[in-house]
Amino acid sequence: MPYSIGQVAKKTGLSTYTLRYYDRKGLMPFVKRSPSGRREFTDKNLDFIDLITCLKGTGMQLSEIRKFVELAMQGDATLTTRLNIFKQQQEAVKAQIKQSQKFLDKLDYKVRFYTAACEAGTETAVSGNCDLPDQPIVINEQLRVKRA
Amino acid sequence: MPYSIGQVAKKTGLSTYTLRYYDRKGLMPFVKRSPSGRREFTDKNLDFIDLITCLKGTGMQLSEIRKFVELAMQGDATLTTRLNIFKQQQEAVKAQIKQSQKFLDKLDYKVRFYTAACEAGTETAVSGNCDLPDQPIVINEQLRVKRA
DNA sequence: ATATAACTTAGAGTATACGCTAACTCAAAC
DNA sequence: GTTTGAGTTAGCGTATACTCTAAGTTATAT
């Protein structure tokens, strides 16, 4: 039994608007229609939508995803091309995670800095250098507003 | 010696358009002007722009960053509020990294799958389940198109 | 002194990814 | 058989974040 667009929306968390939009954008040429024109999604289709969600979640644009889908529709002739797309995206995600980790390091430093600042009652009493995150954060007792 | 907007653009990698746009959006109320109205960025300003870039890079919207900037301009009275914003963003980034890692796992699987498919010459010869990524990927020798 | 490069603002234009409405059709329940 | 809920398309509207142009001013180098 195929799924209706509403059922797919519930299953995937995407809105029906989004699903139709994706379809219009050429991301779902594999979805068959009932005699009256309604979309009928199979379980295999759902897997593919999961993949689309994955690619989208890693920053791939809909236009690029469309290209991938078109390759996939062409069958085995495009296997290596598709493999390369996945390898490329793999590297992209690794780089993204690295970048996010750098940002997280900065945030970690900020939390330590602001924790000290809150304790001292003022930012001016706190020393520390954001670009040297391992450097200790020190409170200048002379400048404290709040006493411990 | 203060920096001009062009120099800041080079240093930060943001375009002058973007810097002015950020300014207009209230993200840089701390930037002073020369008598003739030109922006004069200090090194401290550059650090703050780095922070803005960090927050933006972790998915914070400009409108939210603006709120943070406004709090920062109010001084020590908003220290705990700002600390909480950083803590919140810290958690958000951790969650993002986790999600990205999940997507990466899926991509890793796809690379393994497609590598096998390329070797076999056809997708149909390859078995494997994306939701059980530890399951081995097996090539059905009967369905091979390309012989090893 | 003047060319040119860089700055200024206001505001229009672009890209992406939706979200929503209107007007209509269709399927299932009662 | 008719209501109700869900589906359909076309197309307009929105949000975000730029990106660029136009028209003018200012700073710097020759």
The pLDDT tens digits for A54-107 are: 999 999 999 999 999 999 999 999 999 999 999 999 999 999 999 999 999 999
CB hemisphere CA count around A118 (13 angstroms): 14
Which amino acid makes up residue B106?
K
Please tell me the predicted confidence (pLDDT) of residue A146.
Answer: 72
User: CA angle at residue B70 from B65 to B71, to 5 degrees?
Assistant: 95
pLDDT (tens digit, 9 = 90+) per residue, A14-68? Answer: 999 999 999 999 999 999 999 999 999 999 999 999 999 999 999 999 999 999 9
Whole-angstrom Cα distance, residue B67 to residue B48? 14
Dihedrals phi, psi of B8, to nearest 5 degrees: -65, -40
Count chain A–chain B contacts defined by CB atoms under 8 A. Answer: 110
Classified as helix, coil or strand, A13 is coil
CB contact under 8 A, A54 and B106: yes
Say if residue B68's pLDDT is above 90: yes
Q: Which CATH architecture has domain B1-73?
A: Orthogonal Bundle (1.10)
CB contact under 8 A, B107 and A76: no
Please tell me the predicted confidence (pLDDT) of residue B147.
Answer: 67
Quote the DSSP letter at residue B138. E
The domain ranges of chain B are 1-73, 79-148
Which amino acid makes up residue B6?
G
Determine what percent of chain B is predicted with pLDDT higher than 90. 86
CB contact under 8 A, B118 and A79: yes
Q: Which residues contact A13 (CB under 8 A, 6 or more apart)?
A: none
User: Other CB atoms closer than 10 Å to residue A82's CB: what's the count?
Assistant: 19
Please tell me the predicted confidence (pLDDT) of residue A132.
Answer: 63
- Distance in Å from C17's C1' to A21's CA comes to 9
Whole-angstrom Cα distance, residue B75 to residue B69? 10
Q: Is B118 on the interface with A (CB under 8 A)?
A: yes
